[in-house]
Amino acid sequence: MSVPDASELSRQSFVVDLMLMRLGRWLRLMGQDAANPEGGSDWQIRDQAKRDHRTVITRDRRLYESCLKASQPCLFIRSSRIEEQLLEVAGAGVSLRLDPQRCTLCNGHLIEITGSGKERWQCCICSKVYWQGSHWRKMERMLEEIGSRRGEN
């Protein structure tokens, strides 16, 4: 079966198709290894996932069906709204909590910056710096609301 169960998705590597790039950034904010696609065609995404042992996350029905035929793990996302997309991945076992381990842009590992007095992280690939600003609390509230819709809290 190409749809992984919830326990398999809690800490797994993904490749997110072009229609779900915003969801990919959110997954990375939650500590998930969510790569951007190296190519735009269905077969390129599917082959990247197979080569890198990743689960495809897509809204493209053709790509999903292609993954099913190739026995490639794939999660089909139905919604176009980010809140509902997050609810869908939570239903598949992804934890809805911020966990800064991955760069939202390039998926590189984040390294904690010490000595600044505040929690800050920097990407080891592109050098982007992250911190817990006012936007952080807004994201936490959104994830808490989605979690409560699932009955998690």
Residue 149's pLDDT is 82
Tokens 């966990």 belong to which residue? 99
Residue 2's pLDDT is 46
Q: Give me the phi and psi of 46, to 5 degrees please.
A: -60, -45
Q: Facing residues of 121 across strands? A: 112, 130
CATH value of 6-150 in 3.40.50, 1.20.950, 3.40.630, 2.60.40: 3.40.50
| pTM as predicted | 0.87
Q: Which positions of the chain have pLDDT values less than 70? A: 1-11, 152-153
Residue 10's pLDDT is 52
CA distance 153 to 149: 9
Residue 133's pLDDT is 87
